[in-house]
Amino acid sequence: MWDVIVIGGGATGLGVALDAVSRGFAVLLLEQADFAKGTSSRSTKLVHGGVRYLAQGDLGLVREALRERGLLLRNAPHLVHNQTFVIPVYNRLSRPYYTVGLKLYDALAGRLSLGSSRMLTAEQTLNHLGQNLQTRGLRGGVLYHDGQFDDARLALNVAQTCVQHGATVLNYAKVSRLLKNNLGQIEAVEVSDIESGTRYQAQGKVVVNATGVFVDDVLHLDEPTQAPLVRPSQGVHLVLPQRFLPGAAALLIPRTDDGRVLFAVPWYGHVVLGTTDTPLPQASLEPRALEQEVDFILNTAARYLQAPPTRADVLSVFAGLRPLAAQRNGSNATKNISRRHYIRVSASGLLTIAGGKWTTFRQMGEDVLDRAIALGKLPGRPSRSAELRLHGAPSASDQPQLPEHLGVYGSDLPALQQLIAENPAWANPLDKAFGYLQGEVMWAARYEMGRTVEDVLARRLRVLFLDARAAQRMAPCVAALLAQELGRSSSWQQEQVISFRALAQGYLLPEATNAATPTQVPASAASATEQA
């Protein structure tokens, strides 16, 4: 019997599993798709306290998030780093206004501060953001520091950390039923293996529903008439070539037409631009950007960039769903809903955690375990998750200077290099436009639980989110390598390429679509590389 069964392999579920194993509990985590398949791989790539929440006066949430930001930089330095942000100022009174607010932001971070905010001249602002920034009326700027990360890679490393500490974590394992005893208390879950179709049962003392925007689906397995707890809100991001933000700093547009903020963030040699806040009636694993969201982002960016991006410049567009608290008053103002998390305990004993944000995932897990202990479901043991270095975290002296994407492997890099040395072909790139290597696909399949072309190109390597056309080009080579490692057939390869290319088409804007011509999947990875 498991002490804790966690349903959901995104940021929230992984945070629960991490805290549970840190206390020495026996943990089983079940994810219906791949780790971070949904919202948790589709963020703005920021580990932050949230300057917007500061403006809303939620100092407690900001302080908590800033503390967690500092812990993540310490525990996962290969994935999380200090990023400089600049707010350009075009109004004489705005610069001191933003400076005062960001000094409070610095103070709330305390000893875990990443650096002091300060005012910039117009020339300094251009030096940080690059010469594409709109100079007409520019009076200066304000600089501050926050965290940036690779969300899907962090999810994977948390899952690996859980395994290292004794947990069992499974992707493509869908919970189809909650099983109750004669007293109506949940004592087990029924699980379907998505790949084989096999069903099995797992018994647990505590069952946690940590499925993000899908918490209501699991709640309805327990209580079919339960009113919705979560209302999905969509955030869209556009990915552009680096020339639109050639400086090293990220750009923060402090107020948009809908009252939000807009970020332009350097990420793996590209620029992530977003986001929006659009209420949706229901959740899906592959949400799609609405035309008005794309137009809103491009139009807002055009006011701040001398050479504004167009639809044809967008390399990839992705949408994620925030699991916000369902409003009872019919309001559509999702941008004003708190990002705090909350925990619900059902009559059956099911613990459901909803809300929250990536930055506070560890604290969310700690709070769930504290609640389970307070309910008498588990013996009292202290949390140690704040002290856990995550899988791959190197010591400061061991971290080499590497191309950015190889740096994400951290302490795994020597083993990856040794694997690549087994076969000279594995040192070849998947595509001439990127530095990703064939050996990384083999590593993803062998050591990172990658099962499909999508798993590899979307979440192990981040190509789908950086350049959807390049991802389409890489698909045949990746399918051939996975088939070699996983023992799959040529028909499986063909199906993988077709399904992935169809998926990737949804990451391209219609006017910019240039669908890859279907090709026969090569019999070997080497021939796939020659075609790429």
Q: Taking the CB of residue 17, how many other CB atoms lie within 10 A of it?
A: 32
Q: Residues 414-468: pLDDT tens digits?
A: 999 999 999 999 999 999 999 999 999 999 999 999 999 999 999 999 999 999 9
Query: Within a 10 A sphere around the Cβ of 397, how many other Cβ atoms?
Result: 5
Q: What is the pLDDT of residue 257?
A: 80
Residue 517 pLDDT class (50, 70, 90 cuts): very low
Map residue 432 onto helix, strand or coil: coil
Going from the N-terminus, what domains does the chain have, and what CATH number goes with each? Answer: 2-39+152-228+335-387 (3.50.50.60), 80-148+231-322 (3.30.9.10), 404-531 (1.10.8)
pLDDT in tens, 339-377: 688 999 999 999 999 999 999 999 999 999 999 999 999
Q: Who contacts 270 (Cβ-Cβ below 8 Å, separation ≥6)?
A: 239, 240, 241, 242, 315, 466, 467
Q: Please state, in angstroms and rounded to a whole number, the distance separating the CA atoms of residues 459 and 453.
A: 10
Asked if residue 531 has pLDDT above 50, the reply is no
Burial 219-244 (b: 16+ CB within 10 A, else e): bebbeeeeeebbbbbbbbbbbbeeeb
pLDDT digits (tens, 9 = 90+) for 2-48: 999 999 999 999 999 999 999 999 999 999 999 999 999 999 999 99
Share of the chain above pLDDT 90, in %: 82
- Euclidean distance between CA atoms 29 and 45, whole angstroms: 24
More confident residue, 378 or 332: 378
Distance, CA of 98 to CA of 90 (rounded, Å): 12
| Lowest mean pLDDT across 79-83, 104-108, 175-179, 337-341 | 337-341
> Quick check: 335 pLDDT over 60?
no
- pLDDT of amino acid 51: 84
Q: State the average pLDDT for the chain.
A: 91
Q: Which two tokens stand for residue 335?
A: 């941008």
**Of 118-132, 331-345, 439-453, which gets the smallest average pLDDT?**
331-345
Instruction: Determine the pLDDT at residue 255.
Output: 82
Top-confidence residue, 237 or 519: 237
- Band of the pLDDT at 476, cuts 50, 70, 90? very high
- When pLDDT is averaged across residues 395-422 and rounded to a whole number, the result is 81
- Token couple for 510: 């219609």
pLDDT tier at 66, thresholds 50, 70, 90 = very high
The string of DSSP codes covering 332-353 is --GGGS---EEEEE-TT--EEE
Of 83-87, 297-301, 324-328, 342-346, where does mean pLDDT reach its minimum? 324-328
**Cβ-Cβ contacts under 8 Å for 368 (sequence gap 6 or more):** 16, 19, 208, 210, 343, 351, 353
pLDDT of residue 258: 76
SS3 of residue 135 by DSSP:
coil
Band of pLDDT at residue 524, cut at 50, 70 and 90: very low
pLDDT for residue 13? 98
**Residue 105 and residue 424: Cα distance in Å, rounded?**
50
